[in-house]
Amino acid sequence: MKKLRLSFTLLFFTIAVGIIGYHLIEGMSYFDALYMTIITISTVGFQEVHPLSVPGKIFTMIVISTGIMIGAYTIGTLVRMFIEGELSKTFGRRKVEKKISGLKDHYIICGYGRIGSLVCKELQEHNKEFVVIEKNPSAIERMELNKILYLPLDATVEETLLEAGIMQARGIVTAVGSDADNVFITLTAKGIRPDIFVLARASDEKDEIKLKRAGATRVVSPYLIGGKRMAQVLIKPTVVEFIDIAVMESNIGLRMEECFINPKSDLVGKNLIESNLRKVYGVIIVLIKKHSGEMIFNPLPTEVLEANDILVVLGTHEDMQRMSEII
C-alpha cells in the first residue's frame, strides 16, 4: 500500500509540474496546460494546443520520459497488488481494525500458541468478545481460518495494547512462549491501566513470583496444573470426572456457572431459603463470593444475598437461562 501511495504521489506531482511548466513556458491557461500535460504523459498523440517553442519541446520530452517511468511503476504496482490480493487484504484489515476499535468489555489475548489458541476457543464457545495480538505468520493463517480478530503486532509495545483497546478491555491474557515477555507485557499493561485484570501464563514455576510482582492478577502454570490433574485422575477419578462434566463438557447438559446479583434484583436482602433458587429452578449454590472478596463455600440456607454478590451455581443449561431472568 505504501508503494501505491508513493506512485500516485509521484504521478500527481508530475502532473502539477507539467501544468505549471506549460503555463510559464508556453503561456497556456491552466486548463490548456492540464490538457497538454495529460496527453503528453499518456502519449496518446493528440494535437498540441499550439506549436511549441524550443524550451517547450525540451520540457515536453522531460515530461514524457518522467511520465512513462512513473506510469509504468504505478501500473506495475497495481497489477502486483491485484494479483497478490493486497487490496482486498488491506481493506479487509481496515474493517477488522475498525471493529477492534469499537470493542468494549472484551479480552486481549497476547499470543496464539498452544495455550492462547485454547483460551480463544473457549471464549468463542461462550460468545465472549476478544482480540488476539500475534505476529507469527503461521498463527495468523490459523486465526484467519477461524475468523478471529487479531493485530499482527508486538504485544510488548505499549502502542499495540492501546490499539487493542486496553482502556476499554475487561482483562488481558499473556500467553506468549517467553516468561520474560509475559512479565514485560504485564508491566506494560499495568503501567497503562493499573486496574486491568491480568491473567499470566508461567512456563516455569519459579517465574510465577516474578509475574505476581509485575502486577499479574492471576498466574497459571499449565505444566504444573497438568501434572496435578493427571495425578488427581489416578487418586480421585470420580471427582475429576464430575468436574469435567460440570465445567468442561457442555454437551452433557450440566453446567457450573457464575451468576452476578444485580443491585436491582429482587433477590437482594433475601436468604437462600427465601430466594427459592433451589426449589423453583433446581440449582445448587456451591459458593457465594461477597463483594468484599470473602468466599463462602457450601453456604447455609440462612445466608443473606447482597447486591454485587457472585454465585457459583450448578444446574442444567435450561435452569440457568430461567434463573438469569431474576438474577
Answer yes or no: do 63 and 108 share one domain: no
Which parts of the chain register pLDDT below 50?
none
CATH number, residue 117: 3.40.50.720
Answer yes or no: do 122 and 180 share one domain: yes
Answer yes or no: do 182 and 215 share one domain: yes
The verdict on residue 245 lying in a domain is no
Answer yes or no: do 207 and 261 share one domain: no
CA-to-CA distance for 129 and 139, rounded, in angstroms?
19
Answer yes or no: do 62 and 125 share one domain: no
Q: Report the residue count for the chain.
A: 327
- Note the pLDDT of residue 91: 61
Three-state secondary structure call for residue 73: helix
Answer yes or no: do 75 and 114 share one domain: no
- Note the pLDDT of residue 158: 93
Answer yes or no: do 77 and 33 share one domain: yes
* Dihedral angle sign, alpha carbons of residues 102, 104, 106, 109: positive
Domain, as residue range, for 262: 253-324
The verdict on residue 143 lying in a domain is yes
CATH number, residue 41: 1.10.287.70
- Note the pLDDT of residue 83: 63
Q: 292: part of which helix (H) or strand (E)?
A: none
CA-to-CA distance for 207 and 221, rounded, in angstroms?
9
Total domain count, the chain: 3
Answer yes or no: do 203 and 313 share one domain: no
Q: Closest Cα partner for 49 from 79, 18, 78? A: 18
DSSP 8-68: HHHHHHHHHHHHHHHHHHH---HHHHHHHHHHHHHT--PPPSS---HHHHHHHHHHHHHHH
Query: How do beta strands 284-289 and 310-316 pair?
Result: antiparallel
CA-to-CA distance for 256 and 287, rounded, in angstroms?
11
Answer yes or no: do 110 and 216 share one domain: yes
The verdict on residue 231 lying in a domain is no
Q: 237: part of which helix (H) or strand (E)?
A: helix 237-243
Residue 317 cell numbers, joined: 443449561
Interval 60-104: pLDDT, tens: 888 888 888 887 877 777 777 666 555 556 666 677 778 888 899
Given phi > 0 = left and psi -120 to 50 = alpha, else beta, which region is 84?
A: alpha
- Note the pLDDT of residue 110: 96
Answer yes or no: do 263 and 293 share one domain: yes
Q: Are 131 and 120 in contact (CB under 8 A)?
A: no
The verdict on residue 10 lying in a domain is yes
Q: Are 86 and 1 in contact (CB under 8 A)?
A: yes
Q: Closest Cα partner for 100 from 43, 54, 167? A: 167
Q: Are 96 and 159 in contact (CB under 8 A)?
A: no
The verdict on residue 267 lying in a domain is yes
Q: Are 297 and 266 in contact (CB under 8 A)?
A: no
The verdict on residue 96 lying in a domain is no
From first CA to last CA, the distance across the chain in angstroms is: 51
Q: What is the mean pLDDT of the chain?
A: 85
- Note the pLDDT of residue 193: 94
Answer yes or no: do 51 and 129 share one domain: no
- Note the pLDDT of residue 1: 62
The verdict on residue 92 lying in a domain is no
The verdict on residue 310 lying in a domain is yes
